[in-house]
Structure 1
Amino acid sequence: MRAILLVNPKATTTSERARDVLVRALRSEVDLSVRYTRRRGHATALAREAAVEGVDLVVTLGGDGTVNEVVNGLMTATSAVGEAPTAERLPALATVPGGSTNVFARALGLPKEWPEAASMLLEGLRLGRHRTIGLGRADDRYFTFCAGFGLDAAVIHRVEEARRRGRVSSPGLYFRAFTAQFMFGAERRHPAIQLEQPGEAAEGDLASAIVQNTAPWTYVGDREANPNPEASFDLGLDVMAFRQLGVASTTRTVTQFLSSTPNPHGRQVLRLHDVAEFTLVASRPQAFQLDGDYLGEREKVRFTSVPAALRVIC
């Protein structure tokens, strides 16, 4: 089996020695080459090349951003005869968690720490264990576990700016960013989003929207955050939108999706389950994120579910 390991050298929870251990372990199972990402978007190009070359397996060592780039590289590759990608034609994906949160890997049931996760993946390779998962697509970009339009994306933007100034990613940093955006952002005072589905009446005056391809949406330390607890890699997309961002109602909703038995509900909550296609349209630009990476502002994003898109080792 030909495999390529794509390493984000800035991965926050692994060292050079740990990477060497992983490389030796993988080489005991597969014919492995190693590539290091050098810039944003580099993993996409490397994964696309691997798919075109007919590599059997792509392994990532990094966080959710690295996984997202690799998935986009695989899903936009074509074969030598110009065929569109299918799960059977594409390389399988294995992800070793190396970031600060690793939502995708943990949603697949992998351990949070990379040595245990790597051991589980090696066992999966020996046994031929894999599953085929669906993905989400926002316009022309794929995502594995979540997207955000409005408040949560603006919070991620604040966190990314703080990290560029040298701050360490932590639940406390996210809480401070959320508090600042909630209090001073425009989302709370002027809801501007409309959700449109084919053949359905539009839902308007929404303040913010969270889209999930699986559950959980994210983790707060070891605690799952589940705005859409029924979301699944095996179904369409789930949506939870805030109609208003009042202090009392928002606090209640956040408490609900942080509960051990999450079921967000209330007059200010809109939830949709297993949706194949919808569009979010805003009357002014909204912050936008995919898989925890801030991608700027948009006024319109079309979301589609892509079933049975990719094989993953787990």
Structure 2
Amino acid sequence: MLTHALASDLKLEVAETQYRGHARDLARQAAEGGQIELVVALGGDGTVNEVVNGLLTHGPDPEALPRLAVVPGGSTNVFARALGLPNDVVEATGALLDALRDGSERTVGLGLAAGTPGSDDEGVPARWFTFCAGFGFDAGVVGRVEQQRERGKRSTHSLYMRQVLRQYVGESNRRHGTITLERPGEDPVEHLVMSIICNTAPWTYLGNRPVYPAPAASFDTALDVFALSKLSATAVTRYATQLLASTPERGPRGKHVVSLHDLTDFTLHSQAPLPFQMDGDHLGLRTSVTFTGVRRALRVIV
């Protein structure tokens, strides 16, 4: 039905992904061929991330690269929903066709993460992300969820919350963080337990409830950082409650909260290897990651 709806308005070529990374390869071919004007990604945030990385293989060039359209097909679809698209395949397809007829698009900023020169992760290839990255606690949760999904468990919000609890119980550094944030011209921020890098708001959804750790984050600015320097039982209770009650106007606050807005360049270091995730995809352990916020990186149909 989706293909039929799109084919009625577009000259359409359909390609189904066959392996992890295939969406990236297909998008790279589309960008390099010079004949494709629009790439439509049907899938969840992981598929969209692959497509974006394929389109931007040779760097951002919004006017020359194909435009991106997203039809949500995953369990959470944060990027699509942050763009204002309906969280339903049929409704989102209708909205996409309307946007194409109206010529409605915007140029969004993206985040880029790479291994830090001089660190053990220096050779790690740079990778783009659309809405968030995480270093530390939240990335550990993502890794646990992925393990459960590989065992056949469905990706549900209850599964996610169980893994949050298990990650917390097993977190050895929750009172004395190992992460340091460094940025040009500023004093380092030390002893962070977890750090979330946001390219837009909300950061995620719990069902239909949006969560805003960094309410000011936007596709029109660089990157925002939400970090915590303590995960004691009292601190977790306080900040989890604030997260659940967060709004576009107000996020978590307190003496253990670090909130930074519109950062273009910064690095996160850890004394010990920590989990790292981008757009909900667990990427293993890292000791240092350098982030760049790139404004106006890609044209998107909205």
TM-score after normalising by structure 2? 0.93
Q: 1:34 aligns with which of 7, 11, 14?
A: 14
Q: 1:100 aligns with which of 75, 82, 94?
A: 75
- CA deviation profile, 1:152-182 (whole Å, cap 9, x unmatched): 0000100000011111111110110000101
Confirm or deny that 1:309 pairs with 2:294: no
Q: Is the 8 A contact 1:235 1:274 kept in 2?
A: yes
Confirm or deny that 1:180 pairs with 2:200: no
Q: Is the 8 A contact 1:134 1:233 kept in 2?
A: yes
Q: Is the 8 A contact 2:175 2:229 kept in 1?
A: no
Q: How much has 1:202 moved relative to structure 2?
A: 0.4
Q: 1:213 aligns with which of 199, 204, 225?
A: 199
Task: Give the aligned residue type for 1:248.
Answer: T
Change (3 A) 1:57 1:39: same
CA distance in 1, matches of 2:263, 2:22: 32
- CA deviation profile, 1:214-267 (whole Å, cap 9, x unmatched): 001100111011110110000010001110111111221122122153421101
Aligned match of 2:46: 65
Q: Which runs of 4+ in 1 moved over 4 A?
A: none
Unaligned runs of 5+ in 2: 115-125
Where do 1:56-205 residues align within 5 Å?
56-77=37-58, 85-139=60-114, 140-205=126-191
Aligned match of 1:44: 24
**Helix, strand or coil at the partner of 2:13:** strand
CA distance in 1, matches of 2:175, 2:188: 21
Ranked by relative contact order (alpha carbons within 8 Å, sequence separation 6 or more), the top structure is 2
Q: How much has 1:186 moved relative to structure 2?
A: 2.3
Task: Give the aligned residue type for 1:313.
Answer: I
Q: 1:229 aligns with which of 215, 218, 223?
A: 215
The two structures, once aligned, show a CA RMSD in angstroms of 1.0
- CA deviation profile, 1:55-103 (whole Å, cap 9, x unmatched): 10000110000000000001114xxxxxx54111000000000000000
CA distance in 2, matches of 1:250, 1:234: 31
Aligned match of 1:279: 267
Q: How much has 1:185 moved relative to structure 2?
A: 1.9
Q: Is the 8 A contact 2:269 2:287 kept in 1?
A: yes
TM-score after normalising by structure 1? 0.90
Unaligned runs of 5+ in 1: 1-20, 78-83
Sequence identity percentage:
55
Task: Give the aligned residue type for 1:53.
Answer: G
CA distance in 1, matches of 2:60, 2:251: 36
Q: How much has 1:189 moved relative to structure 2?
A: 4.2
Q: Is the 8 A contact 2:133 2:279 kept in 1?
A: yes
Task: Give the aligned residue type for 2:146.
Answer: E
CA distance in 1, matches of 2:192, 2:27: 37
Aligned match of 1:24: 4
Q: Is the 8 A contact 1:212 1:239 kept in 2?
A: yes
